[in-house]
Amino acid sequence: MADTLHLSADPVELTIALVDVPSVSGDEARLADLVEHALREQTRLEVVRSGNAVLARTNLGRPSRVVFAGHLDTVPVNDNLPSRLEDGVLHGLGSVDMKGGDAVMLHLAATVTDPRHDLTFVFYDCEEVDAVRNGLGRVERDLPEWLAGDLAIVCEPSNGVVEAGCQGTMRIEVRTKGARAHTARGWMGENAIHALGEALRRLEAYEPRQPEIDGCRYHEGLQAVKVEGGVAGNVVPDAAVLTVNHRFAPDRSPEQAERHLREVFDGYDVTVTDVSPGALPGLGAPVTRELVEAAGGEPVAKLGWTDVARFAALGMPAVNFGPGDPTLAHTRQENVQVNEVRRCVEVLRRFLG
């Protein structure tokens, strides 16, 4: 485990050093200490600490500011530490989600000395757990000026392409009521689980929207994720709950998404239990166009939810751009191509001028 981080070194070596410091959500202090110490060595940066979040920024008087954000925490260890490097592929917990992106940010913080934009770097804690614990929320409450800018780049894994905005997510509970009876005389009761049948048929027949926004094709979804009910093996159940997750495109507000779900499940008792709004792509903003040009290729829609939504809620365009395949996140075989880490550094260096 590293005692210090060498930010100007090869970003792949920096990624290895970050991966080999365990930082499961709630246990980021050691890694935050290393990041803080390394950033404070960059004398041109202003650095502050908020819990286990570390923030650094330039104050060069540029007319615009770009905010980079990356979380330091990982999901629990799954026999995938320490890291190992084989044939140009770095394996290990957090290599994709998202210490490769953190390494890119740290390397830029140390080596881009004359950027066209002022820069802010936000390394935060507890992204992988309940939203109420997310370190960005604490920073927004305590240090809101540190999140202000003209563009936010969240360095979550995106296969090294610009993923614009993100979809919103909502969970609802569809509840049914019945009447208990002995199963030997089931006709004397009313089966609440059976009453969910029509709701499940509606889900099976559901056709999700695929709207195009700023040239990016989003794909909504509506999926049953949990069913609860039952009293005993010989009792007709009098209550049942179907939990449904809805992923909605960012052209819909949470209120519009809720109205839509109430229409889909008309006649049922529907309760919203969790919601996070999406983020529009924001590709029309001049600074966002600069990033897209530097990255090359066509930007694509972010179908999952990320913290770009938090920045969008602050009134600024936000995108995802980082090394690694997001489908490998949270898996035991998590790994990142080292060339992709280096390419992301070069793209962002070109963007920053």
Q: Which of 36, 118, 127, 334 is catalytic?
A: 127
Tokens representing residue 301 in the block: 């829609």
Amino acid identity at 54: V
Q: Which of 28, 73, 290, 325 is catalytic?
A: 73
Secondary structure E strands in 107-259: 118-124, 151-154, 163-164, 168-177, 212-213, 216-217, 221-229, 239-248
Whether 73 is a known active-site residue: answer: yes
Secondary structure tally for the chain: helices H, strands E: 9, 17
Nearest CA to 269 out of 204, 203, 172, 180 is that of: 172
Query: Cβ-count burial of 173 within 10 angstroms (0-12 exposed, 13-18 middle, 19+ buried)?
Result: middle
Bridge partners, 95 (sequence order): none
Inter-residue long-range contacts of 289-293, CB under 8 Å, 24+ positions, other chains counted: 290/351, 291/151, 291/153, 291/162, 291/319, 291/321, 291/351, 292/162
191-210 burial: b if 16+ Cβ within 10 Å, else e? bbbebbeebeeebeeeeeee
**What is the rounded distance in angstroms from the CA atom of residue 160 to the CA atom of residue 321?**
6
HSE-CB for 65 with a 13 A CA cutoff: 16
Whether 238 is a known active-site residue: answer: no
Q: Where in the sequence numbering do the catalytic residues fall?
A: 73, 127
